[in-house]
Structure 1
Amino acid sequence: MLDLDDLVNRVVNPDVRPLVKEAHRCYAIGAARAAIVLTWTAVCADLIHKIEVLKEEGEPDARPLAETVERAQQPGQADAVPLMLNVEKTILDIAEKLELIDSTQKTQLERLREDRHLCAHPSLRPMGELYVPTSEYARAHLAAALDAVLVHQPSQGRKVRDSFIAHVADPAFTFEAGYLGHTFFDRVRRTSRAKLVDFAAKFALLQIEDDNMPLAAPMFADRMAQCLRLFADRDQPLAEECLARHMPRLENAEPAVQLAALGRLGDLPAFWKALPDPMRTLYNTKITSIATQVPAIGYLRPDETRALALVAYPDVRTSLPALTSTFAVLPVAERSRVIGARPAPYFLPYLPGLLTEVRSFDEGELVARTAILPSASLMSLEDTKAVLRAWWDNENGQTWGRAMPGYLVALYFTTAHLGEARDEIWKAHLEELRPFPDLFNAIARGTSLAAPVVQG
């Protein structure tokens, strides 16, 4: 059951809010007839305001009613009452046309309007009987009015969708969860909200090529996946329903699109709940085939890297057991890129081994830049000890390329969450570099852990 107290406090229009609160008080004390009359008055006032806003924004279908209201409000207007009666008669039709309400909500509000007439005009009933509505009926009308109209901004379904697309497709788009959630979910009515979630699910899942979009399909799909995660946090069943609706198309999509969808949405629980079992089997087979292809090709494609990085999630490892074995057999550089795609605690035990396996200066720098530094904020003291030990002990000395001292300084500062205890670890390892003054001085100056060595 809707919480009326909460909804009344969420009425958008401050000028209408007192009417709604008065209607609520009438319902609470059992004055059902007055509550119904006030509820309809609030609906009319709110819709008139919203239609005026749309008219100012350039909506042509809003102009006739808004101009009629303006004419009726002119001082000395003799036919003001007939004009407003006509507004009251047609306002629901216009609100539906403007997508301020849908057909179901219109039907509910038409019942409210008819009951308002019965409450205000007792002569409308046969035999002169007075209409005596119940408190429950008054509550139902107030709840319907709040849910359909009074708590929503003057936004149209079509315009909200167009605004959402324009915002996400903007080349300067920045994902800001607070703004996106407030503007395109919290403030949007349920029917429009469902359309936005469905749109995000479709484009994130299917990576649709659309000539009208200013962005490449993969980039637009990635952005829609970010939005879908946000929407799923607010309403996971709706996200699941929308994803399930488009899964048949994914089953028939090109293999590259299928794999991209896994990498893009594989960390989303709603994706797995909507995914058919045959697709799980297909994905596991694809992961297995990657393990056999990499030794020959020597590298992973970006969509393969992102998909394999899902090994970091326990539930995904259960659904796709091939992830674990495939990740383990990747070359050092590709394992590093996989870790960098989704840094996670799962990968921390693998970091020392990567440094141990490094066979060239370039490879050492890639491991540090791509896997070690992105994981630094997750490291414990023991992880830091193990990484530094492997860094120092590479048997071929290939972890000391030109950029590596700088990477070590960066690693020191990105492990600041470990507090003062990290300094003891770093000082101990730094002392081992004293025989190598250039390395020692570069790290000592950068971290301020020791005075540089004075070279004679």
Structure 2
Amino acid sequence: MIDLDDLVNRVVNPDVRPLVKEAHRCYASGAARAAIVLTWTAVCADLIHKIEVLKEEGEADARTLIQDVERAQQPGEADAVPLMLNIEKVILDVAEKLELIDRTHRTQLERLREDRHLCAHPSLRPMGELYVPTSEYARAHLAAALDAVLVHHPSQGRRVRDSFIAHVADPAFTFEASYLGHTFFDRVRPASRARLVEFAAKFALLQLEDDAMPIAAPMFADRMAQCLRLFADRDQSLSEEYLDRQMRRFETAEPAVQLAALGRLGDLPAFWKSLPDPMRTLYNTKVTSIAAQVAANGYLRPDETRALALVASPEVRTSLPALTSAFVALPVSERSRVIGVRPDPYFLPYLPGLLTEVRSFDQGEYVTRTAILPSAGLMGLEDTKAVLRAWWDNENGQTWGRAMPGYLVDLYSTTAHLGEARNEVWKASLEELRPFPDLFNDIARGTGLAATIVPG
């Protein structure tokens, strides 16, 4: 059963909230007739406010009703009462047109309006009988009014959707979870919310082309995947439902679209719950073929890199067992690219091996810049020791390219989360550089450890 107390406290408009609380008190005390009259009064007041907001935002369909309201509110207006009676007559038509309510809500509110008339005008019943509503009927009307109108912000389905698309498609888009969640999920009506989730799921999964979009389809799909992940955090079942609805189209999508979707949605549980088993098998086969292709030509495409980076997720490793062997078989530079796409504690044991395997100054710098430094914030003391040991122990000295001393200083800075304990690790490692005074002094000064190291 709907918790009326909770809904009453969630009424959006502070000016309307006292009316709703009074209606609730009337219902609770058994004054059902008064509760119904006050509930309809609250609905009218709330809808007028919301329609006024939309009129100020430029909605043409809201203009006529608000002009009538403003006219009725003028001092000395002789037709004020007829004007307001007419507004009550058409307000649900206007609200539905503006998408403030849907057809079902309109039907419920029309019943409320009719019962309000019966409660306020006893002469409407034949034979002079008084209309005597029950408390349960008053409660049903109050619950319907709260659910349909009173607890929602003045948002429209079409307008919200257009605003959502414009925001995400903006070339200067920045993903801000708190703003997006508040504006396009928490504050919108359930029906509009479902349409937004459906839109995000469709474009994130199918990477649809749209000439009207100011950005490329893959970028728009990536942004929609971020939004879908945010929506799934708030309502996973809703995301699962709308991903599932797109799966028939997805199964026949181009292979490039299918692989791109894995890379952008593969860490989303709702994606795997809606993914058919044959698609899982297909993906596992794709992973195996990617590894074979890299062995032949030596490089990964961006969509392949993102897909293989999912090896960091234990759930995905279970669904796609080929991921682990494919990642391990990659050349050093490609393994580094995979780690750089999705830094994760899973990859920390692999970092020393990358430095050990580099075979040129350029490769050493690339590995450090692409995989080591992005992972530094995740390292523990033992991880740091192992990375420094491998840095020092590369048998061909290929970890000492021109940029590498500066990268070492950056590594020290980005392991600040380890606190003072890291200094002992670093000082012990720096001692091994004493035979190279210039290198030793540059790094000691860059890390700020020079003053704490005993002169040699």
TM-score bracket for the superposition, by shorter chain length: over 0.9
Q: Give the C-alpha shift of residue 74 in structure 1.
A: 2.0
Q: Give the C-alpha shift of residue 81 in structure 1.
A: 1.4
Q: Give the C-alpha shift of residue 75 in structure 1.
A: 2.0
Asked whether the equivalents of residues 33 and 133 of structure 2 are also in contact (C-alpha less than 8 Å), the reply is: yes
Which segment is superposed worse, 112-121 or 300-309? 112-121
Q: Give the C-alpha shift of residue 453 in structure 1.
A: 9.9
Matched, 1:251 2:251: yes
Asked whether the equivalents of residues 437 and 453 of structure 1 are also in contact (C-alpha less than 8 Å), the reply is: no
- Measured in 2, the distance between the counterparts of 1:27 and 1:285 equals 63
Equivalences for residues 21-170 of structure 1 within 5 A? 21-170=21-170
Match of 1:333 in 2: 333
Let me know the Cα RMSD of the aligned residues: 1.6
Asked whether the equivalents of residues 19 and 39 of structure 1 are also in contact (C-alpha less than 8 Å), the reply is: yes
Which segment is superposed worse, 301-310 or 75-84? 75-84
Q: Which residue identity does 2:186 align to in structure 1?
A: D
Match of 1:344 in 2: 344
Which segment is superposed worse, 126-135 or 26-35? 126-135
Match of 2:383 in 1: 383
Asked whether the equivalents of residues 434 and 453 of structure 1 are also in contact (C-alpha less than 8 Å), the reply is: no
Match of 1:356 in 2: 356
Q: Which residue identity does 2:165 align to in structure 1?
A: I
Match of 1:432 in 2: 432
Q: Give the C-alpha shift of residue 451 in structure 1.
A: 4.3
Match of 1:203 in 2: 203
TM-score for the superposition, normalised by structure 1: 0.97
Q: In structure 1, the residue corresponding to 2:22 is in which secondary structure?
A: helix
Q: Give the C-alpha shift of residue 39 in structure 1.
A: 0.8
Asked whether the equivalents of residues 441 and 452 of structure 1 are also in contact (C-alpha less than 8 Å), the reply is: no
Which segment is superposed worse, 136-145 or 159-168? 136-145
Which segment is superposed worse, 309-318 or 125-134? 125-134
- Measured in 2, the distance between the counterparts of 1:240 and 1:391 equals 45
Q: Which residue identity does 1:220 align to in structure 2?
A: F
Match of 1:292 in 2: 292
Q: In structure 2, the residue corresponding to 1:93 is in which secondary structure?
A: helix
- Measured in 2, the distance between the counterparts of 1:27 and 1:372 equals 66
Match of 1:410 in 2: 410
Q: Which residue identity does 2:314 align to in structure 1?
A: P
Match of 2:10 in 1: 10
Identical pairs, percent: 87
- Measured in 2, the distance between the counterparts of 1:238 and 1:453 equals 59
Equivalences for residues 206-355 of structure 1 within 5 A? 206-355=206-355
Moved over 4 A (4+): 451-455
- Measured in 1, the distance between the counterparts of 2:28 and 2:402 equals 77
Q: Give the C-alpha shift of residue 174 in structure 1.
A: 0.8
Q: Give the C-alpha shift of residue 454 in structure 1.
A: 13
Q: Give the C-alpha shift of residue 128 in structure 1.
A: 2.9
Q: In structure 1, the residue corresponding to 2:154 is in which secondary structure?
A: coil
- Measured in 2, the distance between the counterparts of 1:114 and 1:453 equals 87
- Measured in 2, the distance between the counterparts of 1:356 and 1:140 equals 72
Deviations 1:81-104 (A, max 9, x none): 122111111111110011010111
- Measured in 2, the distance between the counterparts of 1:453 and 1:375 equals 27
Deviations 1:397-425 (A, max 9, x none): 01111111111111111111111111111
- Measured in 2, the distance between the counterparts of 1:434 and 1:132 equals 97
Asked whether the equivalents of residues 291 and 326 of structure 1 are also in contact (C-alpha less than 8 Å), the reply is: yes
- Measured in 2, the distance between the counterparts of 1:373 and 1:126 equals 84
Is there any run of 5+ residues in structure 1 with no aligned partner, and where?
Answer: none
Asked whether the equivalents of residues 441 and 453 of structure 1 are also in contact (C-alpha less than 8 Å), the reply is: no
Q: Which residue identity does 2:299 align to in structure 1?
A: Y
Q: In structure 2, do the counterparts of structure 1 residues 453 and 131 end up closer, same or farther at CA, with 3 Å as the change threshold? A: closer
TM-score for the superposition, normalised by structure 2: 0.97
Deviations 1:148-189 (A, max 9, x none): 111222121111111111111111111111110000000000
Which segment is superposed worse, 9-18 or 202-211? 9-18
Q: Which residue identity does 2:382 align to in structure 1?
A: E
Q: In structure 1, the residue corresponding to 2:324 is in which secondary structure?
A: helix
Q: Give the C-alpha shift of residue 30 in structure 1.
A: 2.1
Q: In structure 2, the residue corresponding to 1:432 is in which secondary structure?
A: helix
Q: Give the C-alpha shift of residue 79 in structure 1.
A: 2.1
Q: Give the C-alpha shift of residue 5 in structure 1.
A: 2.4
- Measured in 2, the distance between the counterparts of 1:321 and 1:245 equals 27
Q: Give the C-alpha shift of residue 206 in structure 1.
A: 0.8
- Measured in 2, the distance between the counterparts of 1:353 and 1:394 equals 10
- Measured in 2, the distance between the counterparts of 1:383 and 1:200 equals 39
- Measured in 2, the distance between the counterparts of 1:119 and 1:284 equals 67
Asked whether the equivalents of residues 355 and 394 of structure 2 are also in contact (C-alpha less than 8 Å), the reply is: yes
Q: In structure 2, do the counterparts of structure 1 residues 454 and 23 end up closer, same or farther at CA, with 3 Å as the change threshold? A: closer
Asked whether the equivalents of residues 205 and 250 of structure 2 are also in contact (C-alpha less than 8 Å), the reply is: yes
Asked whether the equivalents of residues 440 and 453 of structure 1 are also in contact (C-alpha less than 8 Å), the reply is: no
- Measured in 2, the distance between the counterparts of 1:369 and 1:142 equals 62
Asked whether the equivalents of residues 427 and 450 of structure 1 are also in contact (C-alpha less than 8 Å), the reply is: no
